Amino acid sequence: MTFLKLRNQELIILVVTVTIFILFSVFLNNFFTTGNLLTLMRSVSILGILSIGMAVVVISKGIDLSLIATLAVGTAAASVLSSPDVMPAFQFPFIYAVILGLIFVVFFCCVTGVLVAYWDMASVFVTLAMAGVIYGSGRTLFIRDELNYLPKDAVWLEFLGRGQFIGIPMPIFCFLGVALLVHLLMTKSTFGKFVYSIGDSGLAARTAGVPVRPILVMIFVLAGIIAYFAGLLTAGAISSINTRMVAGSMIYDVLLVVVVGGIGLSGGKGGMHNVILGTLLIGTLLNGMVIMDISFIVQNLIKGIILLLAIMTDTLLNPRDEQTTQQGDI
């Protein structure tokens, strides 16, 4: 139903995606084949899941730059705590280690949430600092090596990460599943309505009696759990997790999906269909660029230009008004 109520921005993105898709299908050999389209979806499904987490935070007019740290450190913690090599004294069955990793993630996300909600700090700075705190404490406390292999009893996770069901890779189901769950949460539950109202205007929401602060904490915890799930899938796909990805550029790809998908940076707007749209656009582009064998530097240039264009469109379609001037952007 949401697709019937598309905003201008979404329409533009839909048109762009469809145009690129048709162009690639016509001009690139083997682009429009079932195998390649499944590969395309599969390769961006983890990025898509992460973007769902980021989208919820951005809708509440925040930003979470610690998502990759949460993903990598949480997953690496789970793999270390179940590995026979690293800490023999603390070797748990993998499923318990996953739960311990979850506790680690939730704890740090609560800290982030409390700092943003109760200390009234800007989320961009809190999460930037927390990314360092999460990575640092994880690496000091238990993750000795950057590259951590999954234990032998992680078979179920390897199925989720690289298995197939009726010929479709599992990560695609995981992406769509998470998108559906969060979609229901955001549209049908009180929590979702509160998130949109906070994004629209935190002050008005508070005046109307919305428990703004606890909801903010919950938003960061939700985003963290989603990132942790994305991390587990990453590990399942290659049987290992490398904490070095924290230093990489993945967080910008996540922002790219969210912004390109049309979730306004001024908060209160957009939904899961934006994330799916953004993911498809980026996935189509990445896939096409690899097929055309475009060099890494040019790929980054193209991605940068698209991000700029998306932000310009966002500014054009959602001009700064009285309200945003008063409350500022992210």
Partner 1 sequence: MKNKFLKIAFGILLAAMPFSLSAEEMGIADPARDKYYSALEGKKVAYVPLAMGFDLTEGWYAGMKTALEPLGIEMILRDPNWSADAGSKAISSLISERPDVMVVHNPDVQTYAKLLRKAEKAGIHVVQVNMKSAFPTDAFVGADWIEIGELVTQKVVDQCGSGTSQKVAIVQGVLTAAASAYQLRGVSNILNKNPNINIVSNQAADWDSTKARAITETTLQQHPDLCGIVGFWDGMDIGTGAAVKEAGMADKVFLATSGGGGKTGCDNLQNDIFDVFVSYDVPGQARDLSNVIKGLLQADNKPGKAGKVSLFTQLQTLTKENMNSYTGAGACWTVESLASK
Residue 1 neighbours by CB under 8 Å, 6+ apart: none
Q: Does 139 bind partner 1 (CB under 8 A)?
A: yes
Of positions 93, 214, 248, 304, contacts partner 1 by CB under 8 A: 248
For tokens 């590990």, what's the residue?
Answer: 235
Nearer to partner 1, 110 or 289 (CB): 289
- Rounded alpha-carbon distances, angstroms, from residue 257 to 122, 149, 282, 283: 22, 29, 7, 9
Nearer to partner 1, 145 or 329 (CB): 145
Nearer to partner 1, 162 or 206 (CB): 162
Nearer to partner 1, 190 or 295 (CB): 295
Closest CA to 233 of 53, 40, 49, 92: 49
What does the CA dihedral 147, 123, 114, 251 come to, rounded to 10 degrees? -20
Q: How many CB atoms lie within 10 A of CB 19?
A: 10
How many CA atoms are closer than 13 Å to the CA of 41, on its beta-carbon side?
17
Q: Does 321 bind partner 1 (CB under 8 A)?
A: no
Report how far Cα 189 is from the mean position of its chain's Cα atoms: 21
d(CA 330, CA 317): 17
Q: How many CB atoms lie within 10 A of CB 153?
A: 12
Nearer to partner 1, 12 or 289 (CB): 289
Q: Does 252 bind partner 1 (CB under 8 A)?
A: no
Of positions 50, 276, 286, 310, contacts partner 1 by CB under 8 A: 286
Q: Does 140 bind partner 1 (CB under 8 A)?
A: no
Q: Does 146 bind partner 1 (CB under 8 A)?
A: yes
Backbone dihedral region for residue 30 (phi beyond 0: left; psi -120 to 50: alpha; all else: beta):
left
Q: Does 33 bind partner 1 (CB under 8 A)?
A: yes
**Strand 240-242 to strand 168-169: parallel, antiparallel, or no bridges (unpaired)?**
unpaired
Task: Using the rule CB under 8 A, give the single segment among 16-24, 181-189, 239-247, 319-327 that binds partner 1.
Answer: 239-247
- Chain residues 210-229 in contact with partner 1, contact rule CB under 8 A: none
Q: Does 25 bind partner 1 (CB under 8 A)?
A: no
For tokens 């990132």, what's the residue?
Answer: 227
Of positions 4, 26, 35, 190, contacts partner 1 by CB under 8 A: 35
d(CA 64, CA 189): 22
Tell me if 294 sits within 8 A of 87, measured CB to CB.
Answer: no
CB of 239 vs partner 1, minimal distance in Å = 7
d(CA 8, CA 264): 12
Q: Does 43 bind partner 1 (CB under 8 A)?
A: yes
SS3 267: coil
Task: Using the rule CB under 8 A, give the single segment among 123-131, 186-194, 208-216, 283-291 that binds partner 1.
Answer: 283-291
Nearer to partner 1, 36 or 313 (CB): 36
Q: Does 319 bind partner 1 (CB under 8 A)?
A: no
* Number of shown-chain residues binding partner 1 (CB under 8 A): 37
Of positions 295, 321, 322, 325, contacts partner 1 by CB under 8 A: 295
Q: Does 187 bind partner 1 (CB under 8 A)?
A: no
The sign one gets for the Cα dihedral 290, 262, 26, 283 is positive
- Residue 155 is encoded by which pair of tokens? 């078979």
Q: Does 149 bind partner 1 (CB under 8 A)?
A: yes
Of positions 201, 240, 318, 324, contacts partner 1 by CB under 8 A: 240
Nearer to partner 1, 173 or 191 (CB): 173
| Residues at the contact surface with partner 1, assessed by CB under 8 A | 29-30, 33, 35-36, 39-40, 42-43, 46, 139, 143-147, 149, 162, 234, 237-240, 242-245, 247-248, 286-287, 290-291, 293, 295-297
